[in-house]
Structure formats: C-alpha cells, structure tokens
Amino acid sequence: MTLLDLKPGKSGIITKVSGNGRLRHRILDMGMYIGKKITMVKSAPFNDPVEFAMNGNHISLRRAEAQLIFIHLIDND
C-alpha cells in the first residue's frame, strides 16, 4: 500500500520510495526514507494535497507524490 491509502490519524513505516530522479531526491531529502514512521494528518479542502507528520514535523504532498511512497501499515497508533 502507499501513503494514499492511509486514513487520517493512521501511521505506516516507509518501505520504498519510487518515482524519478529529482522528485525522489526531494522526497528523500525531506526525511522520508525507508524505515521512517509517517502519519497521515488530513487532506486539503479538495482532497489534494495531503498533510503528513513525521517525528512531530508536518509536511504536505500532492496525491500524485504520496502515491510514490510505499508503506507498511502499523496498527493502533
């Protein structure tokens, strides 16, 4: 599953970041690396972009970009 499949308040562990060079670099540089725990916070009014939290820091991704990040769902947060 990808970040897009997370419901608000649910978390996952990043398992893979796909996408091409520049975009993937940007995502990795922002601290979304394999093994990192990430939580979905909420979507913007038209469902896009989406806000996530890692270690208490918040970032936003477009749906198209969130789709590139694969995760393992973790139960009860």
Binding site for other proteins (CB under 8 A): 17, 21-31, 33-36, 42, 44-49, 51, 53, 55-62, 65
Nearer to other proteins, 1 or 30 (CB): 30
CB of 27 closer than 8 Å to CB of 60: no
Cα angle for residues 68, 50, 77 (degrees, 5° grid): 90
CB of 48 to other proteins, least distance (A): 5
CB of 43 to other proteins, least distance (A): 9
> Is the torsion defined by CA of 66, 43, 73, 33 positive or negative?
positive
